[in-house]
Structure 1
Amino acid sequence: MGAGLPAPTRQFDNKKETTMLRIQRLTAILLMTSAPFAASIAQPTTLVPAEPESVGVSSARLRLLDTMLRQHVDDGRVAGLVAGVARHGKIVYLESMGWQDIEAGSAMRDDSIFQIRSMTKPITSLAVMQLVEAGRIGLDDPVSKYIPSFADMQVFVNPQDPDNSPTRAPSREPTIEDLLLNIGGLSHRDRELYMSRQVRSRSEPLDVLVEKIADVPLMGDPGAQWIYSESASVLGRVIEVVTGQKFDAYLDEHVLGPLRMPDTAFHVPADKVDRLARIYQVPRDEGALTQVPDMDVPITTNPPLLEGSAGMVSTVPDYLRFLQTFLDGGTLDGERVLSAPLIAEMTKNHIPEALLPIGLSPQSPMLDRGWGYGFTVVIDEAKSEFGVNNGEFGWNGSLGTFSWADPETDTVAILMLQIAPSGAYSLSGKFKALVYQSLLN
């Protein structure tokens, strides 16, 4: 690998590391992540480490999972990673391996910080649903109620050739629910339509981004098709308009603080930079991984753009807490952030049959999945991977972060690495299969 350093090793093996020592190590990580809130809130009782068999998970199968992950690191396919698995609210696997920064010789840690990109979307969606619950936002509200420029949006007659296409009025305005479901007709920040018009710049604040989005015609009538899009960033601006708070301040007060997710943010402060995992590029040949710049995301400073679609960083322990909240009906360690009925609405499919299958591109349909409010949701387990159940929900990030939760087995799993382009989908599939195979009941 890059610096010719051997990968750090700490094998997951109950025979080599006693259960008590392992629980002490994991507990120390969890207590550190809870420290900013310890003065006012009791120590966490959910997501504490436990012996795998005590919650119906096979230690032997987890060792197979661990071996598979370490092989990817040892073979130089990824620089390093962190993976976590929890069942029935107890952590049965939390392991780090490889390097945060090969060149600096900085080993990966259980609380390493990763750019989670599109795994920001579920966090934004939860914040929106809090305001729906409070009666401050309506799912059927037109977006123009909060951002007036959305009332004047047009639609491309020929979205395949937008530069030469005439426009027309849409059949209706996009609504808040349309944006939650990616059926509002917006495009994606990385697609040519927005890139050629310089819609997104990290040097410009959220309100500027949203006004630029409103100035570009829609790709289709709202409600007519599923298009993976910049919708969650628009929702972040709606939150600002409704609450009068900056988007990050609202999240800190109402989501990240109550759930004790201290390392989830839009930037990495100076006292945490030593925990930041660097991005590595996958070589086309058999060469070494090479570090790449932070890809236009100034995450070590306070970025002007607080992007609800893709702007946050997080850790495996933090995101385990986030997804566990959904399995626990909106409450974690006594802190309720959303009612159980609205949690259920977020994690069920809302895409009508006529718009299925959805997919990031026509060439890559997700035949087994629909979309909830911020998550994909498995709706046809027969078309999914081994062991996957209907109702499983989650989402991924474009730099190699993966997350899912399964209500049927009460299991949460997170895998985080940093690689560009994100060629880790085969690794995530193997990870998921081995997690499911480790369940004893």
Structure 2
Amino acid sequence: MFRSIKNIYSIVVFVLAFTACAQEKSRNTNLKSADHSEYNLDSLKSVLNSYVDSKQLAGIQTAILHNKELIHYNSYGYADIESKKPLDEESIFRIFSMTKPITSVGLMQLYEQGKFKLEDPLHLYIPEFKNMTVFNENNEILPAKNAIKVIDLLRHSSGISYGRSPNSDLNNLYSEANLGNSLSLKNFIDKISKLPLLFEPATAYEYGHSTEICGYLIEVLSRQPVEDYLQEHILNPLKMKDTHFQLPKEKIKHFTTGYRASENGKLEVAELPDESGFLNKPNFIRAGGGLVSTTNDYINFCKMLLNKGSIFGHQFLKPETIDLMTRDHLASVREHTPRLRILPNETGFGLGFSIAEQDDGSIIYGWGGAVGTYFRIEPKKELAYIMMIQLSPYRQLRLRETFQSLVNDAIN
């Protein structure tokens, strides 16, 4: 999720007119002959489509899985407004931090192989993290007392941030380190391991670059480049054929235009497909935010999670590992910092997933991306839902909360 603004979206200064009616296109397979009258899907579609009709979004694509069946798949609006190119099944989106769960699953495959233990100090495998420093309560930089453990990377309790922390001095150091322009993943590790931590590991939560380090840990443990490992062990067997760290040139025609909301609320082009940084070979693989993907591909990833690690005759993870990853791992962290900086409506963080515990004790887990992409899984209801948009900023629309509420209204 941490490409610079220039790399996330090329800056374009003109506003596009939105004069044509949006076009709706539902997925043909698996839905056409199915009877889903028991679900209130018309209301869900009407509300979500209204964001396009009111010109707050260029387009929106949504999918819902229930009881192992795809009960909803809808595309509405445009992949590109100016050319009036509609979204369709082949549309490719920047998913940014929805990369993190994929990387986390990859690392936990190596955990199942006995390559590491969650409580192992990270420096056993990446020596650069052996002698870390940390800001204390007086904003002094001192040697850290606690070692970063592997579990701290997965649950974001390592003290490593994105340089957008409450500590302005630390943020300045991140800016000076210019991590986004690292020449390789090893160069990134060299840089970030020299930066002070925001807090002692395992004593607080801070969303940040920890998953990039998980990517490097995969390289160390598997002796493969992280992109090759994920391709071989996750993307290929999951049939995620349009999920890439570098978008092949022949697929540019399917890449969506990126948009931003201007101060007056109008949509502006932020990145055109043929100008995107995702077309270039990256200097290093951003295991925390470097993927593009399709809704269809991410459906397969969600199906695997819903089915306790198994799909297409392949066991990606054991059911007990899925259970381990999707429970809250911040209880011990709260002993040091009772009020954590987690997202509203979330109650904790697992191993690569945000966790929201419900009143009945069941959990909802998932994550989202920097330009509004979003997925959640509700195991008790055998339910998963995915939303793809391409807008920054997006939180002002409260679209994720609306989508989640509409899904549950439709299923209930």
| TM-score (ref. length: structure 2) | 0.88
In the alignment, the residues of structure 1 paired with residue 322 and residue 310 of structure 2 have an alpha-carbon distance, to the nearest angstrom, of: 10
What amino acid is the match of 1:257? Answer: N
In the alignment, the residues of structure 2 paired with residue 50 and residue 134 of structure 1 have an alpha-carbon distance, to the nearest angstrom, of: 43
In the alignment, the residues of structure 1 paired with residue 366 and residue 246 of structure 2 have an alpha-carbon distance, to the nearest angstrom, of: 23
Asked if the contact 2:346/2:354 (under 8 Å) is kept, the reply is no
State the secondary structure of the residue aligned to 1:217: coil
Tell me which of the two structures has the higher relative contact order, counting C-alpha pairs closer than 8 angstroms and 6 or more residues apart.
Answer: 2
State the secondary structure of the residue aligned to 2:104: helix
Asked if the contact 1:356/1:370 (under 8 Å) is kept, the reply is no
Correspondence 1:371 to 2:349: yes
Correspondence 1:180 to 2:180: no
Asked if the contact 1:7/1:99 (under 8 Å) is kept, the reply is no
State the secondary structure of the residue aligned to 1:438: helix
* Structure 1 partner of 2:80: 101
* Structure 2 partner of 1:435: 407
In the alignment, the residues of structure 1 paired with residue 84 and residue 66 of structure 2 have an alpha-carbon distance, to the nearest angstrom, of: 33
Shift of 1:305: 2.1
Instruction: List aligned pairs for 1:13-162, cutoff 5 A.
Output: 25-26=28-29, 51=34, 53=36, 58-59=38-39, 61-158=40-137
Correspondence 1:335 to 2:335: no
Query: In structure 2, do the counterparts of structure 1 residues 297 and 11 end up closer, same or farther at CA, with 3 Å as the change threshold?
Result: closer
Query: In structure 2, do the counterparts of structure 1 residues 102 and 182 end up closer, same or farther at CA, with 3 Å as the change threshold?
Result: same
Q: How many residues align?
A: 389
Shift of 1:49: 7.4
Correspondence 1:271 to 2:274: no
Query: In structure 2, do the counterparts of structure 1 residues 279 and 373 end up closer, same or farther at CA, with 3 Å as the change threshold?
Result: same
Correspondence 1:299 to 2:247: no
In the alignment, the residues of structure 1 paired with residue 276 and residue 156 of structure 2 have an alpha-carbon distance, to the nearest angstrom, of: 23
Query: In structure 2, do the counterparts of structure 1 residues 425 and 182 end up closer, same or farther at CA, with 3 Å as the change threshold?
Result: farther
Asked if the contact 1:9/1:98 (under 8 Å) is kept, the reply is yes
Shift of 1:89: 1.4
In the alignment, the residues of structure 2 paired with residue 424 and residue 297 of structure 1 have an alpha-carbon distance, to the nearest angstrom, of: 25
Correspondence 1:395 to 2:374: no
Q: Which runs of 5+ in 1 are unaligned?
A: 13-21, 28-47, 160-164, 383-388
Percent of aligned pairs with the same amino acid: 28
| TM-score (ref. length: structure 1) | 0.83
In the alignment, the residues of structure 1 paired with residue 164 and residue 340 of structure 2 have an alpha-carbon distance, to the nearest angstrom, of: 18
Asked if the contact 2:354/2:367 (under 8 Å) is kept, the reply is yes
Name the stretch that deviates more: 168-177 or 424-433. Answer: 424-433
In the alignment, the residues of structure 2 paired with residue 184 and residue 66 of structure 1 have an alpha-carbon distance, to the nearest angstrom, of: 40
Shift of 1:293: 3.2
What amino acid is the match of 2:344? Answer: M
Shift of 1:11: 6.5
What amino acid is the match of 2:340? Answer: I
Asked if the contact 2:61/2:75 (under 8 Å) is kept, the reply is yes
Query: In structure 2, do the counterparts of structure 1 residues 211 and 89 end up closer, same or farther at CA, with 3 Å as the change threshold?
Result: same
Question: After superposition, what is the alpha-carbon deviation per residue over 1:139-171, rounded to whole angstroms, capped at 9, x for unaligned?
Answer: 122111121110021111248xxxxx4322212
Query: In structure 2, do the counterparts of structure 1 residues 331 and 49 end up closer, same or farther at CA, with 3 Å as the change threshold?
Result: farther
In the alignment, the residues of structure 1 paired with residue 282 and residue 405 of structure 2 have an alpha-carbon distance, to the nearest angstrom, of: 37
Shift of 1:304: 1.6
Query: In structure 2, do the counterparts of structure 1 residues 367 and 431 end up closer, same or farther at CA, with 3 Å as the change threshold?
Result: closer
Shift of 1:50: 6.8
Instruction: List aligned pairs for 1:238-249, cutoff 5 A.
Output: 238-249=217-228
Shift of 1:333: 2.0
Name the stretch that deviates more: 173-182 or 317-326. Answer: 317-326
* Structure 1 partner of 2:388: 416
In the alignment, the residues of structure 1 paired with residue 253 and residue 338 of structure 2 have an alpha-carbon distance, to the nearest angstrom, of: 44
Correspondence 1:358 to 2:336: no
Cα RMSD between the aligned structures?
2.3
Asked if the contact 1:95/1:110 (under 8 Å) is kept, the reply is no
What amino acid is the match of 1:121? Answer: K
In the alignment, the residues of structure 1 paired with residue 405 and residue 308 of structure 2 have an alpha-carbon distance, to the nearest angstrom, of: 26
Name the stretch that deviates more: 188-197 or 306-315. Answer: 188-197
What amino acid is the match of 2:347? Answer: R
What amino acid is the match of 2:29? Answer: L
* Structure 1 partner of 2:16: 2
Query: In structure 2, do the counterparts of structure 1 residues 372 and 297 end up closer, same or farther at CA, with 3 Å as the change threshold?
Result: farther
Query: In structure 2, do the counterparts of structure 1 residues 251 and 289 end up closer, same or farther at CA, with 3 Å as the change threshold?
Result: same
State the secondary structure of the residue aligned to 1:152: coil
Query: In structure 2, do the counterparts of structure 1 residues 394 and 308 end up closer, same or farther at CA, with 3 Å as the change threshold?
Result: same
In the alignment, the residues of structure 2 paired with residue 241 and residue 52 of structure 1 have an alpha-carbon distance, to the nearest angstrom, of: 49
Correspondence 1:166 to 2:140: yes
Q: 1:210 aligns with which of 172, 189, 210?
A: 189
Shift of 1:244: 1.6
What amino acid is the match of 1:268? Answer: L
* Structure 1 partner of 2:5: none
Query: In structure 2, do the counterparts of structure 1 residues 368 and 270 end up closer, same or farther at CA, with 3 Å as the change threshold?
Result: closer
State the secondary structure of the residue aligned to 1:358: coil
Query: In structure 2, do the counterparts of structure 1 residues 305 and 7 end up closer, same or farther at CA, with 3 Å as the change threshold?
Result: farther
State the secondary structure of the residue aligned to 1:232: helix
In the alignment, the residues of structure 1 paired with residue 35 and residue 210 of structure 2 have an alpha-carbon distance, to the nearest angstrom, of: 39
Asked if the contact 1:118/1:396 (under 8 Å) is kept, the reply is yes
Q: Which runs of 5+ in 2 are unaligned?
A: 1-14, 166-170
In the alignment, the residues of structure 2 paired with residue 431 and residue 198 of structure 1 have an alpha-carbon distance, to the nearest angstrom, of: 38
Shift of 1:113: 0.9
* Structure 1 partner of 2:212: 233
State the secondary structure of the residue aligned to 1:201: helix
In the alignment, the residues of structure 2 paired with residue 318 and residue 300 of structure 1 have an alpha-carbon distance, to the nearest angstrom, of: 19
